[in-house]
Amino acid sequence: MHIHLINPNTTAGMTATIRDAGIAIAASGTRVTASQPDSGPVSIEGHFDEAISAVGVTEEIMRMDRESPADAYVIACFGDPGLLAAREITRAPVIGIAEAAFHMAALISTRFSVVTTLGRTVIIAEHLLDQYGFSHQCRRVRAAEIPVLDLEDDGDRALEKIIEESCRARDEDGIGAIVLGCGGMANLTETISREVGLPVVEGVTASVKLAEALVGLGLSTSKVGDLAFPRAKTFTGQFSHLSGLEPAQ
């Protein structure tokens, strides 16, 4: 089984963190690879960043399906940028790490809180909770107020702030679990869980295990209805290379 992780931003160090976390959690028969787009934001911290990065996500999946098809793909950003578009262009399952983390947290606790990076991304996570149907189980989305790249550049201080906010969630929110709200936190689960004393769910590792389950069950993305392959058409300008596109079948 081959699971490919896509870091939607262009920071290579974060791609490596995501890849290593996926490899560490995968079953012995699962091969985990990772990549990032050639162009796009170095971090994703808002709606504009997500919109730009979604193009890179879909192009990475199209490239992989042409060159080395994976059995499943993971979009390793907590905003799940381009998730439905990605599902349109491949038969393989595509999993967003926020959706995966919410599902896993709901299976082990009736109430959970999310600890994310910046305050402006709190609203984005709340939108996803509504969209995915988990608002009634999430007590609060909290921000540690750290820029995403601090997870790479000032890791110890970032970890300290995430633990502090997670402890406040434990003490104030009446929850049974914490969800980490950034793909760059993929290697922090055990440390935070030990310090906070609650189960901690992180989306990259949750997605890898869900991908293994979907592939093991022989389930692929439905090609009936809105997730059918996109209709071939003319694109102009910088997207002209997509004209007449026939996705891998």
Enter the pTM of the model: 0.95
Fold of 2-96+206-242: Rossmann fold (3.40.50)
Tell me what the mean pLDDT of segment 31-41 comes to: 97
Q: Cβ distance 110 to 137 under 8 Å?
A: yes
Please state, in angstroms and as integers, the Cα–Cα distance from residue 114 to each residue in 134, 138, 166, 168, 197, following that order: 12, 7, 8, 11, 15
Residue 249 has pLDDT above 80, yes or no: no
Residue 48 has pLDDT above 70, yes or no: yes
Domain over 98-202 is classified CATH 3.40.50.1100: no
Task: Encode pLDDT of 98-144 as tens digits.
Answer: 999 999 999 999 999 999 999 999 999 999 999 999 999 999 999 99
Query: In this predicted structure, what is the pLDDT of residue 90?
Result: 97
Query: In this predicted structure, what is the pLDDT of residue 152?
Result: 84
Task: Encode pLDDT of 204-247 as tens digits.
Answer: 999 999 999 999 999 999 999 999 999 988 999 988 988 887 66
CA distance 194 to 210: 24
CA distance 171 to 166: 9
How many beta carbons lie within 10 A of that of residue 182, not counting itself? 33
Tell me what the mean pLDDT of segment 146-153 comes to: 88
The residue extents of the domains of the chain are 2-96+206-242, 98-202
Query: In this predicted structure, what is the pLDDT of residue 248?
Result: 62
Q: What is the DSSP letter of 196?
A: H
Using pLDDT thresholds of 50, 70 and 90, give the confidence band for residue 67: very high
Task: Encode pLDDT of 86-95 as tens digits.
Answer: 999 999 999 9
The 3-state DSSP class for residue 129 equals helix
Tokens of 176: 């049974």
Query: In this predicted structure, what is the pLDDT of residue 184?
Result: 92
Q: What is the mean pLDDT of the chain?
A: 95
Query: In this predicted structure, what is the pLDDT of residue 245?
Result: 77
CA distance 132 to 31: 29
CA distance 103 to 55: 26
> Exposed, middle or buried by CB within 10 Å (0-12, 13-18, 19+), for 79?
buried
Element (H, E) at 177: strand 177-180
Please state, in angstroms and as integers, the Cα–Cα distance from residue 46 to each residue in 12, 13, 43, 49, 124, following that order: 20, 20, 9, 5, 8
Query: In this predicted structure, what is the pLDDT of residue 150?
Result: 87
Query: In this predicted structure, what is the pLDDT of residue 244?
Result: 81
Query: In this predicted structure, what is the pLDDT of residue 154?
Result: 80
Domains 2-96+206-242 and 98-202 equal at CATH topology level: yes
Tokens of 50: 């997500």
Residue 34 has pLDDT above 90, yes or no: yes
Q: What is the DSSP letter of 140?
A: E
> Exposed, middle or buried by CB within 10 Å (0-12, 13-18, 19+), for 6?
buried
Query: In this predicted structure, what is the pLDDT of residue 247?
Result: 64
Helices (H) and strands (E) in the chain, counts: 9, 8
Q: Cβ distance 72 to 97 under 8 Å?
A: no
Look up residue 47 and give its amino acid.
H
What are the φ/ψ torsions at residue 137 (nearest 5 degrees)?
-100, -15
Tell me what the mean pLDDT of segment 75-83 comes to: 97
Task: Encode pLDDT of 150-190 as tens digits.
Answer: 888 888 999 999 999 999 999 999 999 999 999 999 999 99
The 3-state DSSP class for residue 142 equals strand
